[in-house]
């Protein structure tokens, strides 16, 4: 019964709503789209501030460059498209026109990961975190729920410099709805304390990791869960501190295991406190068509899948990769 009452909202919805709030507060905020305003949920901003919404047509590379130009004049542009096109197609424009001059451009990338669902592999971007975190000075954030997504958008607008924001298409449970919730770029949060292993998760996988931790607890395994919204700069302290306590790390992300959160965590632990790390994510494969739920199940990224993989990890006692 409890599960049915948990509020579920897709973080792309949160993105659109947060932009409207931002637009009211700050006249310098402008939003750019490439014919996907309905899907990226920036349509609400377009309706509220038609003059400050620029539809660039289906031309993402140009859109990123236009945003760069706007930023040089003091505007705070939010560029919106699917992650596949914002980070993938326009990678070089993001790198050279935004990253290199360190311009104040925010990239709101929706429809990231396999929960794009039925559109299939061509639209399921599992590589964006890897791409974006290689750009010097780029902040990379992947919010876990509605509360965090809104907070991340607000924080991105306050921050001076390029930011990549990763949002999902599918509705996901609200897990941060508590009065003492506080968001800060670069800070992770322990969302569940434990002793036996640490699950470091991002985005939609945070909620799923909490489910997995609950299943493990029923079997007497105490898992700590850390929510990492900011993948770059990474909160290394919170991860090392937990690693020292549990001695084992599992990372969980709706992204390739190459170059994403898992890699960032490995980079952090291997230099100061090496522990076995198992990376849960897309195992160097493309996705496929299907419902978001069915895909999360098939690729073992739902609560049950994460639980199952951790069980295997514990039974083998070693990192399986």
Residues that bind another protein (CB under 8 A): 30, 51-52, 54, 56-57, 59, 61-75, 77, 92-93, 96-97, 100-102
Q: Tell me how far apart the alpha carbons of residues 216 and 228 are, in angstroms, rounded to a whole number.
A: 21
Least distance (Å) between residue 29 CB and another protein: 11
Residue closer to another protein (CB basis): 85 or 183:
85
Least distance (Å) between residue 231 CB and another protein: 25
Residue 188, SS3 per DSSP: coil
**Pick from 45, 94, 49: nearest CA to 68:** 94
H helix or E strand, kind and range, residue 67? helix 60-72
Residue closer to another protein (CB basis): 88 or 101:
101
Least distance (Å) between residue 68 CB and another protein: 5
Q: How far apart are the first and last CA of the chain?
A: 38
Residue 126 contacts residue 158 (beta carbons within 8 Å): no
Residue closer to another protein (CB basis): 75 or 298:
75
Least distance (Å) between residue 92 CB and another protein: 6
Least distance (Å) between residue 66 CB and another protein: 4
Least distance (Å) between residue 107 CB and another protein: 14
Residue among 13, 60, 148, 253 flagged as catalytic? 60
Residue 41 contacts residue 9 (beta carbons within 8 Å): no
Residue closer to another protein (CB basis): 157 or 278:
157
Residue closer to another protein (CB basis): 63 or 204:
63
**Pick from 278, 280, 297, 145: nearest CA to 206:** 145
Catalytic annotation present for 60: yes
Number of separate helices (H) and strands (E) present in the chain: 14, 14
Residue closer to another protein (CB basis): 54 or 215:
54
> In sequence order, what are the beta bridge partners of 251?
200, 279
Q: Tell me how far apart the alpha carbons of residues 2 and 259 are, in angstroms, rounded to a whole number.
A: 36
**Pick from 138, 275, 254: nearest CA to 206:** 254
Tell me the CB-side half-sphere exposure of residue 229, using CA atoms within 13 A: 28
Q: Tell me how far apart the alpha carbons of residues 156 and 159 are, in angstroms, rounded to a whole number.
A: 5
- Tell me which residues are annotated as active site: 60
């Amino acid at each position: 019964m409890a599960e049915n009452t948990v509020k579920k909202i897709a973080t792309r919805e949160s993105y659109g709503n947060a932009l409207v709030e931002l637009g009211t507060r700050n006249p310098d905020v402008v939003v750019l789209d490439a014919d996907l305003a309905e899907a990226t949920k920036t349509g609400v901003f377009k309706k509220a501030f038609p003059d400050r919404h620029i539809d660039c047509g289906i031309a993402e590379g140009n859109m990123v460059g236009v945003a760069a130009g706007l930023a040089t004049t003091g505007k705070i542009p939010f560029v919106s498209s699917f992650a596949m096109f914002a980070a993938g197609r326009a990678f070089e424009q993001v790198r050279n026109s935004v990253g290199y001059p360190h311009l104040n451009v925010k990239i709101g990338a929706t429809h990231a990961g396999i929960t794009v669902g039925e559109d299939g592999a061509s639209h399921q971007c599992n590589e964006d975190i890897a791409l974006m975190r290689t750009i010097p000075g780029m902040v990379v954030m992947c919010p876990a729920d509605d509360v965090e997504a809104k907070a991340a958008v607000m924080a991105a607008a306050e921050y001076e410099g390029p930011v990549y924001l990763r949002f999902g298409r599918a509705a996901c449970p609200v897990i941060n709805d508590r009065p003492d919730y506080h968001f800060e770029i670069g800070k992770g949060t322990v969302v569940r304390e434990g002793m036996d292993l640490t699950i470091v998760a991002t985005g939609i996988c945070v909620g799923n990791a909490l489910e997995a931790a609950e299943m493990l607890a029923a079997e007497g395994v105490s898992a700590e869960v850390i929510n990492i919204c900011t993948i770059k700069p990474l909160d290394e302290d919170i991860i090392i501190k937990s690693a020292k306590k549990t001695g084992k790390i599992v990372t969980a992300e709706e992204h390739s295991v190459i170059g994403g959160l898992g890699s960032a965590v490995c980079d952090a632990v291997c230099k100061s406190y090496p522990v076995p790390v198992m990376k849960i994510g897309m195992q160097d494969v493309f996705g496929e068509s299907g419902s978001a739920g069915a895909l999360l199940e098939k690729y073992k990224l739902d609560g049950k899948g994460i639980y199952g993989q951790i069980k295997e990890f514990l039974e083998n006692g070693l990192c399986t990769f």
